[in-house]
Amino acid sequence: MAQYVDYETHDDIVVIRLNRPDRLNAMGTQVLSEMAQAFVEFEQGNAVVAILTGTGRAFSAGMDIKQNIESGNVHMSPIDIRPLVNPFYPGLAGFGLKDAEGVDIRRTLDKPVISAVNGVACGGGMLLALQADICIAAQTASFEMSEVRLGLPIGWNVGYRLNLSHHATMEIALGGPMNAQRALQVGLVNEVVPDAQLLESAMSWARRIAHMPTSAVLANRELVDKLIPKIPADIAALADDNVDRISRSPESQEAFMRFYEKNRSSSPED
């Protein structure tokens, strides 16, 4: 039985819920593994649409900083995801993520997913929300590529993937936080609803999709997915070099440790 990810079935719809509110649904190895299992179950089952959401005041705060520290890292370092076979995340629409050996990880899930962003979506949590086919945000939701202030040059490609304006792309790349209305304005989300109506709004979208002819829905989704722009190889290589070089710099390591120390006293321990 999963400890941190709930899986609920509602006829043709499933709700996958990150449920580690004491850690703001941060994505450590256990959460990633359980989320992978949930999406494999969705992929192999009869449900047509999945809703991804979180419990508490965060959708997901992104990478589990505490696990990074406990693993001996003094800078932001991606978790080894090779054992975690998740058809939804990471993936192609996850903005060019790679495994520990540098191999591109492609999204294989052919069913639509709706993200219901209930609160904070930071870093990897923001990428997770935006990878969904439809993104619904609660009024109190917020989005931020928090890795920038932790000394990691991540988020530069979000606007390119989503075909945003130059200024919106730069706003994200410079780590600027966005509230739900700003995210709607620039095109990150489809709809903003009162907090209490978030799940019902997501269910309404899901029911509408599930009641349409499945073959037409899946065919259109596949074609739209293939239109997602690919990052040029030379730019991707430069980005990888930047991550490796900058994340290991004294400035970035100091920012990473400062953030950890600042939040350690206010975060509940396991």
**pLDDT, position 40:** 93
**pLDDT, position 107:** 73
DSSP 157: T
CA 196 to chain centre: 22
Name the pTM for this structure.
0.89
In a domain, 54, yes or no: yes
Within 10 angstroms of residue 134's Cβ, the number of other Cβ atoms is 18
In a domain, 204, yes or no: no
In a domain, 67, yes or no: yes
**pLDDT, position 95:** 42
Domains held by the chain: number: 1
In a domain, 269, yes or no: no
Structural domain boundaries, residue 190: 5-196+213-264
b/e code 26-50 from CB counts within 10 Å (16+ = b): bbbeebbbbbbbbbeebbeeebbbb
Please tell me whether residue 183 adopts helix, strand or coil conformation: helix
**pLDDT, position 29:** 85
Please tell me whether residue 21 adopts helix, strand or coil conformation: helix
> CA-CA distance, 102 to 185, in Å (whole number)?
35
Check which CATH number belongs to the domain holding 217 and give it: 3.90.226.10
**pLDDT, position 231:** 84
- Specify whether the CB–CB gap between 140 and 196 falls below 8 A: no
Return the residue matching tokens 């790679």.
Answer: 98
pLDDT in tens, the chain (270 residues): 789 999 999 999 999 999 999 999 999 888 988 999 999 999 999 999 999 999 999 999 988 877 766 666 655 655 555 556 788 865 543 344 555 555 555 678 999 999 999 999 999 899 999 999 999 999 999 999 988 888 888 899 999 989 999 999 999 999 999 999 999 999 999 999 999 999 999 999 999 999 999 999 999 999 998 888 888 889 988 988 888 888 888 888 888 777 777 766 555 433
